[in-house]
Amino acid sequence: MSATPPTTPDPAPVHPGWMSPDWDAIRASVFWADDERSAGRLTAYEGMYIAVLGTEIIDSDRDEDELGRRLESAAGTLPLNRVAVRYVPRPEDWNWK
């Protein structure tokens, strides 16, 4: 038996998680998209999911999963922790007012 106690590895560094500026950026993007929709400026995106970064629609697709895959593939070039994904309802989507 050794007189030296076994060493334990250092714990993994803790990921800082989402920071307040990230949530603020997402909130601002959501508000902008909702304002644009209310003003009738998103009719070209009706029935689609849009990815919004700040005041810019960076991608869109009718398939939410496909949009998600494209966003994930752009993870190295986009700050995904600040991208909001919103559905733009069609007029016949009566449950989306």
Q: Please state the domain extents for the chain.
A: 20-88
Strand order through the sheet with 84-88:
56-61, 48-53, 84-88
CA distances from 85 to 15, 23, 66, 88 (A): 23, 13, 12, 10
Cα 85 to the center of its chain, rounded Å: 5
List, as own/partner pairs, every contact residues 8-14 make where C-beta atoms lie below 8 angstroms and the sequence separation is at least 24, other chains included.
none
Walk along the chain (97 residues) and give the pLDDT tens digit of each residue. 556 666 776 665 555 565 788 899 999 999 999 999 999 999 999 999 999 999 999 999 999 999 999 999 998 899 999 999 999 999 898 775 5
| pLDDT at site 54 | 95
Identity of residue 84: A
Residue matched to tokens 């989402």: 18
The pLDDT value given to residue 14: 55
Please give the pLDDT value at position 9. Answer: 66
For residue 53, which of 87, 19, 85 has the smallest C-alpha distance? 85
